[in-house]
Amino acid sequence: MSPESPKIEPDRLAERLRALPGLDRVRDAAGDLRAYLVGGAVRDLLMGSERTDLDVAVEGDAAALGGRLGGEIREHERFSTATVRVDGLELDLATARSETYAEPGALPDVRPASLVEDLARRDFTVNAMALPLAGDPELIDPHGGLEDLEHGLLRVLHERSFVEDPTRALRAARYAARYGFELEPRTGELLRAANLDTVSRDRVDGELRKLAREPRARRGFELLDEWGLVPIKAGTGDLIAAVGELAAAEPWSDVIDRGEAVFAAALGTNADAARELAGAEVPSPSRGVELARGHDGVTLALARALGGEWLDRYVGEWRTVRLEIDGEDLIAAGIPEGPEIGRGLAAAMRAKLDGEVGGAEEELRVALDAARS
């Protein structure tokens, strides 16, 4: 595990559990339904990391618990789950379930089950622990997750884990990047043999987007490349870092979402268009606007990250330049409705961008000249 990783403190579990806002209400609403904090929430509680979303598994009807809690409920029929917001916390309530896979990579068949079976369907031991909400908060850890957490190891629960669901291999990169976890050796062997072709593109992209939103996304994509799962081109790490930096400050933060930009950088999306923009000759602002218009923010950010410095001015200034005149002014001056209007306004815009006109009167003069020519 990386040196800055937090200490694992099982002794402080009870205290940290008590400190979670909203959890008392869940405990009261659960009554005699057996409810448990599970998965990443338990892992993060052990590590002392903050989180705003918690997973609760219920041996019984999770939707009923959701109903008793009030709040905002979304029910997902297939998995008997509900999402509830209480006191600033987002709770995902799910009926404890077991899963069987008809074929590799397919979505699982689901049936209600005990908590122990529910933990057995999970991805890694560190995510397969539970804490009962009522009574003594004693850690339920059938797969040795606590010990693996202490050693910073990602370990699958069984040999077929990545065959059943290869997206777990992508999830491993997310945890490895975020916490500096390493792959337990056998898990590493199994992971390298994972076959992502059995999974739909949407599911793969869903996991990769989650990775792209991580602060240490670069590390995650580099790991996936090292593991032979998702190859990246030379220079991709630097590109991810560069778009991440752009997204952190204005003006770029106004036009791109960091996760989407990192995702595109990692997968090489729109790379050709971005490279072309980055290498373009831009002798004037009006030429810059002509080139950049029509491209989405992510493509522009990739181009900027590839060296197209002029795009800072496009995004920060040129993009929002507006004329003081409009088509009505041209019509009032006797120009008939039709393509002449657009031609005139475009000429005025070019002149304004390039600093050749100031004020409505001069804009109109340039527009009328162009419309009449």
Interaction site with ligand ATP (CB under 6 A): 39-40, 55, 122-123, 127, 165, 167-168
**Shortest separation between residue 127's beta carbon and ligand ATP, angstroms:** 3
* 157 vs 367 by CB, closer to ligand ATP: 157
Give the C-alpha separation, 350 to 366, whole Å. 10
- DSSP H or E run through 250: none
A 10 A CB-CB count for 264 gives 23
CB of residue 51 vs ligand ATP: minimum separation in angstroms? 7
The smaller minimum CB distance to ligand ATP, of residues 123 and 184, is found at 123
Helix (H) or strand (E) holding 173: helix 167-179
Q: How far is the CB of 322 from ligand ATP (least distance, A)?
A: 42
Cα angle, residue 179 at apex, residues 8 and 94 outer, rounded to 5°: 80
Distance of CA 211 to the CA centre of its chain: 6
Between CA 314 and CA 318, with CA 315 as vertex, the angle to 5 degrees is 45
CB of 22 or CB of 40, closer to ligand ATP = 40
Least separation, in Å, of the C-beta of 155 and ligand ATP? Answer: 13
What's the min distance (Å) between Cβ of 207 and ligand ATP?
8
215 or 342, CB closer to ligand ATP? 215
Closer residue to ligand ATP in complex, CB, 39/344: 39
Pairing of strands 89-95, 81-86: antiparallel
Contact 127, 43 (CB under 8 A): yes
Structure tokens, 52: 């705003």
CB of 175 to ligand ATP, least distance (A): 7
Contact 86, 25 (CB under 8 A): yes
DSSP string of 116-139, one letter each residue: HHHHHTSSBGGGS-EEESSSS---
Q: Which residue is nearest to ligand ATP (CB)?
A: 40
Pick between residue 40 and residue 244 the one whose CB is nearest to ligand ATP.
Answer: 40
